[in-house]
């Protein structure tokens, strides 16, 4: 497969909080692997805001299985971030390598087909998730500086790909 196809998210959301239980159920998804830096929290600021906490609690109340899959070098901070919840964390995950994804799926006892990777980066979250056969959900980065880069490059990269995708049968 050409590289651009591996970098193509299955879905793009304007906000991570817009990924809602009814949408997940409609897509046959029971589990989410969540990136931490710039997806749930600004980079290196491992503190969930109230809106993100409410979103996580909503997903958990719908029996969705969640894991944090992060390339962060601060496993303890990542674990502390979600310490109030029954959410396994895998830091130092080395995305897009497949090993971290495999461990996360094992921890949640789910298959790739019923799982989506949610993240802000094409070359780690989306590439890795696609290689594992997961659904992939791209969201804008939390940090403003990175958001500008995303607007300039991420979206302009994706739009032609999305158009092409729509005109091609999936296969």
Sites of contact with Mg ion (CB under 5 A): 35, 37-38, 120-121
Say which residues have a Cβ less than 8 Å from residue 80's Cβ, sequence separation at least 6: 46
What backbone torsions phi and psi does residue 47 show, to the nearest 5 degrees? Answer: -135, 120
Least distance CB 158 / Mg ion (angstroms)? 16
User: Based on CB atoms, which residue is closest to Mg ion, 14 or 25?
Assistant: 14
User: Based on CB atoms, which residue is closest to Mg ion, 115 or 124?
Assistant: 124
8 Å CB contact between 127 and 7:
yes
Least distance CB 116 / Mg ion (angstroms)? 15
Chain residue whose CB lies nearest Mg ion: 38
Which sign, positive or negative, has the C-alpha torsion 91, 96, 99, 102? positive
Distance CA 128, CA 140 (A): 17
Least distance CB 39 / Mg ion (angstroms)? 5
User: Based on CB atoms, which residue is closest to Mg ion, 35 or 158?
Assistant: 35
Least distance CB 108 / Mg ion (angstroms)? 20
Largest CA distance in the chain: 45
User: Based on CB atoms, which residue is closest to Mg ion, 94 or 164?
Assistant: 94
């Amino acid at each position: 497969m050409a590289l651009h196809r591996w970098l193509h998210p299955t879905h793009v959301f304007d906000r991570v909080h817009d990924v809602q239980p009814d949408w997940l159920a409609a897509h046959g998804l029971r589990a989410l692997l969540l990136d931490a830096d710039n997806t749930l929290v600004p980079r290196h600021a491992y503190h969930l805001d109230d809106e993100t906490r409410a979103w996580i609690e909503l997903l958990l109340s719908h029996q969705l299985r969640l894991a944090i899959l992060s390339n962060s070098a601060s496993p303890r901070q990542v674990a502390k971030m979600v310490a109030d919840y029954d959410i396994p964390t895998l830091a130092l995950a080395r995305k897009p390598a497949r090993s971290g994804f495999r461990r996360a799926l094992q921890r949640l006892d789910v298959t790739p087909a019923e799982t989506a990777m949610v993240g802000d980066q094409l070359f780690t979250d989306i590439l890795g998730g696609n290689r594992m056969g997961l659904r992939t959900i791209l969201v804008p980065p939390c940090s403003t500086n990175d958001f500008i880069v995303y607007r300039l490059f991420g979206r302009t990269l994706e739009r032609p790909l999305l158009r092409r995708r729509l005109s091609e049968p999936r296969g």
